Structure 1
Amino acid sequence: MLTKGTRILLTACILSSIVFLSGCGQKAAATQPNTGEKVNVVFWDENAGPDRTPYYEVLIKKFEAQNPNIHVEYVGLPKKSAKQKIDTAIAANDLPDVSGIQTSWIADFAARKVLLDLDPMFDKWSEKEKISPSIIQSNRDMVLDKKLYQIPNTMNMEILWYRPDWFKEAGVKAPENWDEFFDAAEKMTDKEKNRYGFTIRGGDGAAIQLPRMMFAYSGYTDFFDENGKCRINDPKHIEFVKKYLALYKTFTPKSDVTNGYKEMVTAFDTGAVAMVQHNIGSYSEQKKSMKPEQYAPLILPKTADGKMIQEGGNTIGYGIYNTSKHPEEAWKFISFLCSQESQSYWNQSIGQIPTHLDSLKEPWAKELPHMQLAFKVLSDPNLRFYQPPMYLPEYRSILDQTGDPGIQAVMIGKKTVEEFLNEWAATFEKSKQKYDAYIAGKK
């Protein structure tokens, strides 16, 4: 049994050991680097697929190498269901930090107050002056408060892709105006060879593409007239849609009524059709499937008085959700994606137009035929832009829920062109009236 003196001595030794060890621990902690845990930034790609996702993988790897304290968690969403998945996440308050934001979503998301105002971070960004000012202003104009909720890294241009080899063989001129377009659709149809002159997008996304052709035909630049009447059912547009949808099954494939983007582009890539309406972004599909002499870009046909009409706001970019716990790291990521180097890599890979002015000056952009076409169009004094009402919170749903089924109804003979366009115009007008009433109430 220990004596009292021994117990006191032993206790003192133990306490001394604890103090010594504690000191050693403090000293060790002070000398070892404290790197901390990596910040996880969740990124939802709203248009994932084999023709785009691999390029994001390269960019993310490079970003993480430059920012070792940040990990980017990539989640790919199919384009067809992306908006629905994000809407579900908004309702569940379970959003990512960052996602790709289609331009037509900006007004809707801003009205629902789910996006972070990027102005404070954008104002401090060293490359802010290099992002096309007109595109940035266009984004601001889409929302009531004129704040910046999306930084665009790519822009698009609606064009026709055509088969120059077939046109040359048939002795048909590549169309420059609408009369030549309809003539070419007829002359390039050879049913014995199972070839059609054109393909119409009648399935998912049809209502996105049709107005671009309608306004290119009519030459209008305002979606609503001064009295708030929608231009969709203007006599010029009725005239055009009658001619355009009359091509179906005669000079276009029967399957067009349900064809979306992939089916439409596949018809062109596999040699079933001579012309297809899409945008510069499908260049990567053509490049993979066809020889260089088999495809070439054309501007949309000019109006009767020589104007070229393009849709305004045709950009895609990135936004940060206001539920993000890591907004600074999220901004680092999207500003990296919008930088000159990243934009050049991304746009060169997928074949779209950079919004970064320095990227547009690089040699690669001057070497590609569709980029040369874009530069030509953008510098032409006859170029005009029509502005779709993307500021309407219901804009995209009107395209999807009224436009797509309405186009199909006309193609299968269930509705007349007039019935469809009148209905579509009325839906837009009703939405605008609600929006205008809301604006008036805010003043």
Structure 2
Amino acid sequence: MHKHTKRWTAFAMAMTLILMLLTGCGAQPAPSVVSSSAAPSSGGASTVDGEQVVRMWTFLDPEADNGRSKALKQMIETFESENPGIKIVVETQDWEQMTPKFFAAHAAGNAPDIIWCIMDEMGAALDLGALEPLENLFLKDWTEEEIADIDDSFFNFGVRDGKHYQITHSRNYMAMYYRADLFEEKGLEVPKTWDEFIEVCQALTEPQPDTEIYG
């Protein structure tokens, strides 16, 4: 592992912890910030004008006029000022294509150093060996209290062999709502299986004078 690795992963850590407070990507599955395994194994970041370049793929454009983009730009500027000789280069990607494009870049050996990966594809990323365990990077320097502060179901998503590969920063929750009055009216119980769910939906679907009720 190269000497610069700890420094650029510290940026990923700082960026991630702040972005945890920001909103997600609409109805899209939540993204996670992960460190590509290509960075340490490929000889480190490239050098331009004497600076080590760290490439990050994200759907955000630091120059755009919105809250998340402005926050990202400020974090990059702060990190670069505190770490002379390291340049963070954001390569803005299309949200829908970013993760599959990352997989292709990993296969070609030119993946970015930091990637925002859609949660639905975390399993595929791990199967490809495209991600570096965070324990090999900054987590080994965290105290037990610092780890406990983020130790929840999101932090443990995708853990393999006791190693963590991502930190979730856009937390989307999914739930089903139901009309308690209609359930009570028809004597229905809240379903616990998919078969029960279908039966409840069928029981609730009925024509009405002005509209149709669909379960």
Name whichever structure is richer in helix by fraction. Answer: 1
Whether 2:199 is the aligned partner of 1:236: answer no
Calculate the aligned-residue CA RMSD, in Å. 3.6
Q: Counterpart amino acid of 1:82?
A: M
Q: Counterpart amino acid of 1:129?
A: I
What is the 5 A alignment of 1:226-265?
Answer: 234-239=194-199
Query: Which one of the candidate residues 131, 138, 146 is aligned to 1:115?
Result: 131
Bigger Rg, structure 1 or 2:
1
Q: Given that residues 39 and 69 in structure 1 are in contact (C-alpha distance below 8 angstroms), is that contact kept between their aligned partners in structure 2?
A: yes
Which residue is 2:156 aligned to?
138
Q: Deviations over 1:295-329 (max 9, x none)?
A: xxxxxxxxxxxxxxxxxxxxxxxxxxxxxxxxxxx
Q: Deviations over 1:398-419 (max 9, x none)?
A: xxxxxxxxxxxxxxxxxxxxxx
Relative distance call for 1:241 and 1:56 in structure 2 (3 A) is: farther
Q: Given that residues 105 and 111 in structure 2 are in contact (C-alpha distance below 8 angstroms), is that contact kept between their aligned partners in structure 1?
A: yes
Q: Counterpart amino acid of 1:88?
A: A
Q: Counterpart amino acid of 2:153?
A: I
Q: Distance in 2 between matches of 1:70 and 1:152?
A: 25
What is the 5 A alignment of 1:251-400?
Answer: none
Q: Distance in 1 between matches of 2:116 and 2:205?
A: 33
Q: Secondary structure at the match of 1:60?
A: helix
Q: Distance in 2 between matches of 1:99 and 1:181?
A: 46
User: Structure 1 stretches of 5 or more lacking a match?
Assistant: 1-35, 161-176, 184-216, 221-230, 252-443
Whether 2:60 is the aligned partner of 1:48: answer yes
Q: Distance in 1 between matches of 2:51 and 2:91?
A: 18
Q: Distance in 1 between matches of 2:109 and 2:72?
A: 26
Q: Distance in 1 between matches of 2:197 and 2:57?
A: 37
User: Displacement, 1:147?
Assistant: 1.4
Q: Distance in 1 between matches of 2:204 and 2:71?
A: 37
Which residue is 1:60 aligned to?
76
Which residue is 2:5 aligned to?
none
Query: Which one of the candidate residues 50, 54, 57 is aligned to 1:37?
Result: 50
Relative distance call for 1:73 and 1:182 in structure 2 (3 A) is: farther
Which residue is 1:427 aligned to?
none
Q: Given that residues 80 and 86 in structure 2 are in contact (C-alpha distance below 8 angstroms), is that contact kept between their aligned partners in structure 1?
A: yes
Q: Counterpart amino acid of 2:60?
A: A
Aligned length: 148
TM-score, length basis structure 1: 0.29
Relative distance call for 1:137 and 1:75 in structure 2 (3 A) is: closer
Query: Structure with the greater relative contact order (CA < 8 A, sep ≥ 6): 1 or 2?
Result: 2
User: Displacement, 1:124?
Assistant: 0.8
User: Displacement, 1:182?
Assistant: 8.0
Relative distance call for 1:75 and 1:159 in structure 2 (3 A) is: farther
Q: Distance in 2 between matches of 1:111 and 1:85?
A: 16
Q: Given that residues 56 and 112 in structure 2 are in contact (C-alpha distance below 8 angstroms), is that contact kept between their aligned partners in structure 1?
A: yes
Q: Counterpart amino acid of 1:43?
A: M
User: Displacement, 1:62?
Assistant: 1.8
Percent identity of the aligned residues? 20
Relative distance call for 1:83 and 1:181 in structure 2 (3 A) is: farther
